[in-house]
Amino acid sequence: MSADKRADFNKIDTDGDGFITADEFKASLQNGSGKVSDENVKVIVRMADENGDKKIDFDEYAKFAR
């Protein structure tokens, strides 16, 4: 368990609805490490998204970011 992960998740989830969307994820990546293509963001979201709703909830994020 990591409080940091929750903090990271909340930082990425800018509208605070409890899900990270591709747009939110893309924005966070661009803040961190320069340019990320839409394609790359889609691939990452697809990898992390286990239940196929195109959003990353905290459980999915926690598994993905471990």
Q: Quick one: DSSP state of residue 14? A: T
Question: Under the rule (CB under 5 A), what is the footprint of Ca ion?
Answer: 13, 15, 17, 19, 49, 51, 53
Which residue, 16 or 32, is less far from Ca ion as judged by CB? 16
Measured from the CB of residue 10, what is the shortest distance to Ca ion in angstroms? 10
Rounded Cα distance between 36 and 34, Å, is 7
Spatial CB neighbours of 5, under 8 Å, sequence gap ≥ 6: 61, 62, 65
Rounded Cα distance between 63 and 47, Å, is 11
Measured from the CB of residue 38, what is the shortest distance to Ca ion in angstroms? 17
Measured from the CB of residue 43, what is the shortest distance to Ca ion in angstroms? 15
